[in-house]
Amino acid sequence: MVITVSKALSIPIHEQIFLQLKSQILLGEMEPGTRLPSVRQMSNLVKVNRHTISKAYLELEKSKLVQTYASSGTFVRDHVSVSENGDKNYEACKALIAETLEKANECGFSGDEFFSLLYASMLLKETEKPRALFIECNQYALDQYVQDINKEIDIEVDGCLLDDLGSAEGYDIDVQDYDLIMTTLGHYADVRVRLPQVYNIYALNFGPYLSVVNQIRQLQKDTKIAIVCVSPSGAEGLREALIDLGISRNILSAADVNNKRALLDLSAEVDVFVASKYALLQAPEFFDTCGKHIIEYKNVLQRTSIMMINQVIASMKTAAQTANESAYQE
């Protein structure tokens, strides 16, 4: 399997991957039942971040070309190749493409330039939507946030893991391509540090943090608390957010759910666990048997955050319209 991507094209990276995989499936180069590389394997193969691969795979599923099974992976579905579909003349289409490319070359356009123009004309309406990047510390929450925002708001959203910012896996993420950058309150300060030249960064989901703070304030002042999230950066981000909201630094510890030794040690030292939704899902047996009071940090998209994003987008559109009118008058 050969998949290549180019940042020189105006086509989003996930679309480049999707289109190449779709072509290989339709042409029968990947037979029915073929298992695609895992998201992590494909990420390492193509050298792009994992969420970009997930987005390409989701497009394949929407196109009914592949089927994903939680326990075994993603597989090419039956009866999807062109050769099995008698009402499509692949050879005639191939000849048409060759002829069109030749005429484009005669007009001075390279193959990449022509493809970019074709793609842009196909997606003109869609590309008028504002583009946003959501940054989160773990893949589970990231996928859910992106899915929820796409469902609720007319906006094109990509995702990036916090630890991928500035790393080899995140090389395909150019923050200058986005109209707004979004993250949760707990990661806002960290994202600002990692992206010092970016100003259009917005913190979402204030409500879940306040809910945790209110529950902590009902406890005795000397209660020892451990914060547990899926990733170390998630746990530390939640800890710092709670400190910023007035909770004493001295009573808070932090650990990620995959560090079993740290969890056991903390269980002997603290009275209460503050655990994210996804940490609870990953280690239900530990939290059920630890004998501690559990406060859940519900890291899901809030209605107030949806309203805020819509207000930001409306302001952006108004500013753009005003700028266009001013330019026209000049």
Q: Does domain 13-88 have CATH number 3.10.290.10?
A: no
Count Cα neighbours of 202 within 13 Å in the Cβ-side half-sphere.
20
Instruction: Give the span between the Cα atoms of 200 and 197, in whole angstroms.
Output: 10
Whether 207-297 and 13-88 are alike in CATH topology: the answer is no
Q: Does domain 207-297 have CATH number 3.40.50.2020?
A: no
pLDDT computed for residue 324 by the predictor: 47
Name the residue ranges covered by the structural domains of the chain: 13-88, 129-205+302-320, 207-297
What architecture does CATH give domain 129-205+302-320? 3-Layer(aba) Sandwich (3.40)
Instruction: Give the span between the Cα atoms of 63 and 125, in whole angstroms.
Output: 20
pLDDT computed for residue 220 by the predictor: 92
Instruction: Give the span between the Cα atoms of 8 and 120, in whole angstroms.
Output: 14
pLDDT computed for residue 82 by the predictor: 59
pLDDT computed for residue 266 by the predictor: 93
Give backbone dihedrals phi and psi of 171, rounded to 5 degrees, phi first. -65, -25
pLDDT computed for residue 323 by the predictor: 53
- 316 Cβ contact partners less than 8 Å away, ≥ 6 residues apart: 130, 179, 180
For residue 221, give Cα distances in angstroms to 210, 235, 285, 305, 316: 17, 21, 28, 31, 44
pLDDT computed for residue 318 by the predictor: 72
**Residue whose pair of structure tokens reads 């039942």 in the numeric block:** 33
Q: Tell me the pLDDT of the chain (330 aa) as tens digits.
A: 778 887 777 678 898 899 889 888 887 788 889 999 999 999 998 889 999 999 999 999 988 899 998 778 999 998 776 555 545 666 777 788 888 888 888 888 887 777 777 766 655 444 467 889 999 998 889 999 999 998 888 888 999 999 888 654 444 577 878 889 999 999 999 999 988 888 889 999 888 898 999 999 999 988 999 999 999 999 999 999 999 989 999 999 999 999 999 999 999 999 999 999 999 999 999 999 999 999 999 988 888 888 888 888 888 777 766 654 444 344
